[in-house]
Amino acid sequence: MTRPRVGAGTRRAADAGEFELIGELAALFAQPADGLGIGDDAATWTTPAGLVSVGTTDMLVEGIHFRLDWASPEDVGWKALAVNLSDLAAMGARPGRALLSIGVSPERREQAIGIARGIQAIATRTGTSVVGGDTVRSPGPLVVNVALVGVAEPDHLLRRDAARPGDLLAVTGRLGGAAAGLAALIDGRARDDVDLQPLLDALHRPTPRLAAGQALAAADVRCAIDISDGLASEAAHIAKASGMSVEVDLAAAPLFETAVRTFGRDRALQLAATGGEDYELLYAVDPARLDALTEALADHGGLTVVGRVLDGGRPGEVTFLDGSGPVVLDAKGYVAF
């Protein structure tokens, strides 16, 4: 239920429209009583064995979410499954069975096969089985849809609505790399430019934080979200869902050195805040448990504190510290840069 966007470096009205539409559609569907419906990173439902099934789906449309002059078919396949795996990671869940649909014109079958190879590459690495699929003719843009079902422990589910006052907000990995890679491609840099490799890898081959999500869940962390739309937007999602006011210190965001070197620190920070497609985790932790969690996440992207949940304040409000003073975001996460 998250998706990358070509040209996602800036937030536009059309993007907001997509968010509104999914909310409007969600309201049409009667939601089951035994799980989370539309609104978190993934849907959940209980199974007869007392486990929780976790399901998510993402559609990628050529020209909107990927371009085959910027990414190989294998990259597109990798990412199509990776963004779904990231949703599972954000719930603390394990993969999983995947169902793949590809809409493609018959003369582009080699590209479809490349996409399937990219999916299988990350499926093998993550213990995901692609068990079913549908290939159909699509005369227009190539369309890839992945639906993924995983499993989680009912008492160890990460949710976006579980932040509590006093929690610290922390992230795995580094932010803004994918957006910087995209910005470089938009600027005309080559897709095989070795100087940009860390950024292009972040853009095309994101590593979903499955082990981190499971470690957080096992350590009784309750609140997490994956960073698909930029740190600012995801912090706003947690604030809104949890009914809390949160503060994010932009200067603390861990950046890619390559992004700082290529675009300068200010733009690298901006891309980390609003660029999106990082597929790292943003989570809320009890400060008393910081050392233990730092240890638990040492091999899984680590822990960098980037903010905190305030005691009081307006529910859903995000205050963004950027060194030159606080900037208040609206509930949708728009930053007035």
Chosen residue from 102, 178, 246, 297 binding a second copy by CB under 8 A: 102
The contact mask relative to a second copy for 65-94 (x = CB under 8 A, - = no) is: x-----------------------------
Cα–Cα distance for residue pair 171/226, rounded to 1 Å = 9
Residues in 107-136 at the binding interface with a second copy, rule: CB under 8 A: 109, 112-113, 116-117, 119-120, 123-124, 129-136
**Element at 295 (helix H, strand E):** helix 290-296
Q: Does 10 bind a second copy (CB under 8 A)?
A: no
The answer for residues whose C-beta is within 8 angstroms of residue 95's C-beta and 6 or more apart is 85, 88, 126, 127, 128, 148, 150, 210
Q: Closest CB to a second copy among 20 and 330? A: 20
The whole-angstrom distance between residue 247's C-alpha and the CA centroid of its chain comes to: 20
Q: Does 141 bind a second copy (CB under 8 A)?
A: yes
Q: Closest CB to a second copy among 108 and 205? A: 108
Rounded least distance, CB 144 to a second copy, Å: 9
Q: Closest CB to a second copy among 18 and 330? A: 18
Rounded least distance, CB 126 to a second copy, Å: 12
Q: Closest CB to a second copy among 143 and 321? A: 143
Residue 171 burial (CB count, 10 A)? 29
334, two tokens: 């728009």
* 8 A C-beta contact, residue 229 and residue 282: no
Q: Closest CB to a second copy among 64 and 303? A: 64
The candidate with the shortest Cα–Cα distance to 141, out of 57, 214, 58, 66, is: 66
* 8 A C-beta contact, residue 250 and residue 266: no
Scanning 19-27, 184-192, 247-255, 329-337 for contacts with a second copy by CB under 8 A, the matching segment is 19-27
Q: Closest CB to a second copy among 97 and 191? A: 97
Residues in 47-66 at the binding interface with a second copy, rule: CB under 8 A: 47-49, 51, 53, 55-61, 63-65
Q: Closest CB to a second copy among 128 and 270? A: 128
The whole-angstrom distance between residue 152's C-alpha and the CA centroid of its chain comes to: 18
The contact mask relative to a second copy for 146-185 (x = CB under 8 A, - = no) is: -x-x------------------------------------
Q: Does 103 bind a second copy (CB under 8 A)?
A: yes
Chosen residue from 7, 10, 21, 190 binding a second copy by CB under 8 A: 21
Scanning 41-49, 231-239, 267-275, 317-325 for contacts with a second copy by CB under 8 A, the matching segment is 41-49
The candidate with the shortest Cα–Cα distance to 175, out of 248, 249, 93, 271, is: 271
Number of residues that bind a second copy (CB under 8 A): 71
CA distances (Å), origin 154, targets 215, 219, 220, 282, 335:
15, 14, 12, 21, 36
Q: Closest CB to a second copy among 7 and 315? A: 7
User: DSSP secondary structure string, 192-234?
Assistant: T-GGGHHHHHHHHS----HHHHHHHHHTT--EEEE-SS-HHHH
Residues in 203-232 at the binding interface with a second copy, rule: CB under 8 A: none
C-alpha torsion sign, points 301, 303, 304, 306? positive
Cα–Cα distance for residue pair 108/3, rounded to 1 Å = 23
